[in-house]
Each structure stands twice: as C-alpha cells, then as structure tokens.
Amino acid sequence: MDSLFDSVAASELVNELRVNFYKGTTRSYEWRVTQIKSMIKMMEDHEQDIVASLRQDLDKPEMESSIYEVAMLKSACKLALKQLKNWMKPEKVKTSLTTYPSSAQIVSEPLGVVLVISAWNYPILLSLDPVLGAIAAGNAVVLKPSEVSPASSALLAKLVPEYFDNSVIRVVEGAVSETSALLEQKWDKIFYTGNGRIGRIVMAAAAKHLTPVILELGGKSPVIVDSGIDLKTSVRRIIAGKWCCNNGQACISPDYVLTTKDYAPKLVEVLKTELENFYGKNPMESKDLSRIVNSNHFARLTKFLDDDKVAGKIIHGGERDESNLRIAPTILLDVPLNSLIMKEEIFGPLLPIITVDKIEESFGIVNAGTKPLAAYLFTNNDKLKEQFVSTISAGGLVVNDTTLAVSTLPFGGVGESGMGGYHGKFSFDALSHKKAVLYRGLSGDAAVRYPPYTPGKLNLLKALMGGSILGIIRALLGFSKA
C-alpha cells in the first residue's frame, strides 16, 4: 500500500471488511467457488512470475517453486472445489431422551474477518493456502505477506486485487509497524506462520480482544535412523526433506539426525555420496540449492558453525560465501547437546548427527526438548515404529520419509511448535465456527421439568438423565430409586 498504513488505516480497513462481510456475500457456495477458481487461474496465469519472484527472494530452483508453491496450492484448491459442498453441509447428530422429540445438527458458519500473517520461506504457498481456507469457510480476509521476501510480497499485492473480490479480500504490505497496526485491531481469527518469538507477540495481541489464533511455528524436527534399512533410499529422502526444501529453510525440515554409534559411519558415507550426486563436487555453484534468505540469517547460521563446541565437528561441507548468501550442505558429527546449534531451530543447510548406543535412547533425547513440528523415523522394525508413535509428541510423525503432508491429515504443531491444524477440510474447520443447533416442537411438553419440584419429578429426571429405560419405568411407577 502506497500511503501510510497506521492504526487508523488498519481500523478503517477492518471496519470496511466487516461491513461487507455482514452483507452476506461470502456465505454463498457460489461466491466461495468463484474465488477459489480465481486462485487457480491466478496461479496458472502467473506461474512464471511466481517462479521469478521466488528466484529473486531466495534463488529458489524452478522445480521447487513450481511444485511446492504453485502445484501444491492448485491441488489444494481443486480438493476444496470437489469437497466444498460436503464441507458446508450441516452435520446431523443424535439427541437424547431428555430432549425427545428433537433433532440436532452442527452448522459450519464463517467466523467473520480473518487476518493471515504469512512466512518468508514459502511466501506464496504459506500466504495463499490459509487464505484458501478462509475463503472456503466464507470469511473476509486480510493477508499480510512477509517483508523478508519482498518480491513475492509485491507480486501478491499486485495480483490479489486483480483476481479476487476486493471488497472482502485484501493484501497489506509492510514490516513491523504495519503488522503492529493490524494486530491492534479486533479480528475473528488470526492465522500466523513463523517463529515462536513473533508467535508470542501475535498471541498476546490477540488475547486483548479474546481473538482465537492458529500458530504454525517450528522447532527442532528430529530424524531417527535405525540400522538394517535401505540406506540409500532413506538418505535420499532425508536430503529431499533437508536440502531440497529451500535448502533447509522449512519449518518441517529435518533439524538433526539421531543414530547409533555403530551405524553413523555408514550413514555419513552415503550422505556424502548422495549429496555429491545431487549437487556436484562444488555445491556452492549448484543451481538446485536455494540461497540463504538474507544477511541476518546468514550471520545466525554462521554463528552456529563458529561455536567453539562444534567448530571441529564439521565432517562435510562448511563452505560459505557471504557476498552471495550461500552455505554448502554441511554435516556435523557428534555435536554436544548443549551446543548452540542444538539449542535453537537451525532453519538452514546444517545437519548435526547425534550418536547413541541404542536407537531407543533417541526417544529420550527428543522428548527432553520442546515438542517439534515434525519427527521422522527410518526403520523396518514394527516394534520401534509403535514405540515411536506412542512415545514421541510432535505436530506430526512420518515413518520412512520426511516432509510429506497429505490433505487428509491435519498439519500443525503442539506445544511450542504451534497450535491449530490446517490443510484440506482441517482448514475449513479451523476457520469456521461449529454452531450447535437443536430443533424441538412445542407439543408433548413434560411437566416434570417445571416447579413445584417433587421427589417423584426428581427421580424421573434422574432416570431420564441416566438414559436407562428400566430406570424410567421404575420412576414412572413411583419407586423411590430409579
């Protein structure tokens, strides 16, 4: 937005959208479908513009941009178009004897005006996927893209008004002051993707208005590697989740590896071989690796590598080019658990490997930290899989792969990795109010619920609440205990 966007402008924007929301346009199935189709058309018309903006912001490879930002979003839109009528249908539920005769249903209704604050690492997908959920649920929505990816933010600010209903769908560009102005307003829900520090600020601002939040944060997502597996396939999948996803700058990117002391040498050898197969002998020149987003994040990652506790632990990579914001895929072996790199989410191309005597010891190490957004296990051992699922608390678990998400499962964190889940119907549900509706007729009114209260009425009501047919009969016959 060209003019100053302060608290007054933010208030006017929210009020305007709220007035337009109450006109009821967004509630119709037809409006929602039209907007979702417009999202698909926007992606199709401007795929190369999106690829170019991502190349400018992150030097992201075209394949990653086209698949993880464009194709994934189009797939989510098509699922919403296919399922939206079913999602919108009231859900019939059973009633009890106490309300007989009656019927009941759960009605999904729009929340109102939603704020989406998105992240810089997948600036198209993580902006428009929550907006898709807000539209599918029938809300008005304001999108605040991340200023850390300025080209993508500018592209969204240009395209959204061209393709969407501008009376209820807006984009606000800017940095801290604009975001602060937005957070001062009363919203019906806030959807934030980013780090825990800003997540706390968002939640504190929302609490002033009792506004519910969805926080998609992150954490240190572990990969536990058991022995006796197809190591080449497993390693390729670890690399795909780590370096093929924005060069480690992803919230569900593998953060560190846990394996046994005996198996670590084999794992490291295959990691080195496959990294060379993927990125060549000089990965700093590879066109298939994103760069680090900016100098601040480059300095943060460099600080991890320069920590005295890990400086001698680098066994592969470690090359850096500050002028081009590039760091090679780097493997560190046996870093101390109290080192800086193991205390914070890495969010970059560095992969520490922690060794244990027995693979089961990995679970204790994972659970000693905060709950991660994702956790991964590679094993053929069914007992270990069961132990992994029952022992590890994380936003989501994947066995024998990394960073995969499917629309039939919720995507979201737990504890410090976030709250609330989305994707597919979970997006629709997260951005809807589930309104309880009970229908009763006026005939067959029972005097038992009204004064004067008597022991007989008390016994009958207890029996009705208990749901026992025999107890109801006994109460009606006048027995003192139903």
Residue of 77, 244, 245, 251 marked active site: 251
Weakly modelled stretches of the chain, pLDDT under 70: 1-3, 480-482
Helix 231-242 with 264-279: angle, nearest 10 deg:
60
Question: How confident is the model at residue 18, as a pLDDT?
Answer: 98
Question: How confident is the model at residue 482, as a pLDDT?
Answer: 52
Instruction: Find tokens 């058309």 and name the residue.
Output: 41
Show the tokens assigned to 43.
Answer: 């992606």
Question: Residue 375: helix, strand or coil by DSSP?
Answer: strand
Report yes or no: 456 and 475 within 8 Å, Cβ to Cβ: yes
One-letter amino acid identity for 148? V
Q: Phi/psi at 406 (nearest 5 deg)?
A: -125, 150
Q: Quick one: which of 307, 315, 354 has its CA closest to 331?
A: 315
Distance CA 209, CA 217 (A): 22
Show the tokens assigned to 124.
Answer: 């198209």
251 is catalytic: yes
Residue of 64, 69, 173, 216 marked active site: 216
Element (H, E) at 103: strand 102-110
Going by their DSSP bridges, the two strands 314-316 and 330-333 should be labelled as antiparallel
Distance CA 171, CA 13 (A): 11
CB atoms within 10 A of CB 373: 27
Long-range CB contacts for residues 286-289, cutoff 8 Å, separation at least 24: 287/61, 288/61, 288/63, 288/244, 289/61, 289/243, 289/247, 289/326, 289/329, 289/349
Distance CA 167, CA 180 (A): 23
Show the tokens assigned to 136.
Answer: 């599918």
Report yes or no: 94 and 106 within 8 Å, Cβ to Cβ: no
Question: Residue 399: helix, strand or coil by DSSP?
Answer: strand
Question: How confident is the model at residue 152, as a pLDDT?
Answer: 98
Distance CA 400, CA 404 (A): 10
CA 84 centroid distance within chain:
20
Question: How confident is the model at residue 184, as a pLDDT?
Answer: 98
End-to-end Cα, the chain, rounded Å? 69
Instruction: Find tokens 């081009």 and name the residue.
Output: 324
Instruction: Find tokens 């069961």 and name the residue.
Output: 386
Distance CA 32, CA 53 (A): 27
Torsion of CA 397, 249, 411, 339, to 10 degrees: 50
Percent of the chain whose predicted confidence (pLDDT) is above 70: 99
Distance CA 188, CA 176 (A): 21
Question: Residue 447: helix, strand or coil by DSSP?
Answer: helix
Torsion of CA 419, 93, 81, 72, to 10 degrees: 30
216 is catalytic: yes
Going by their DSSP bridges, the two strands 113-117 and 140-144 should be labelled as parallel
Question: How confident is the model at residue 1, as a pLDDT?
Answer: 43
**pTM: predicted TM-score of the whole model, two decimal places:** 0.95
Q: Quick one: which of 327, 279, 276 has its CA closest to 304?
A: 327
Q: What is the pLDDT of residues 257-272, one digit of tens each?
A: 999 999 999 999 999 9
Q: Which residues 6+ apart lie within 8 Å of 406 measured at CB?
A: 423
Alpha helices in 259-381 (DSSP H): 264-279, 295-306, 361-368
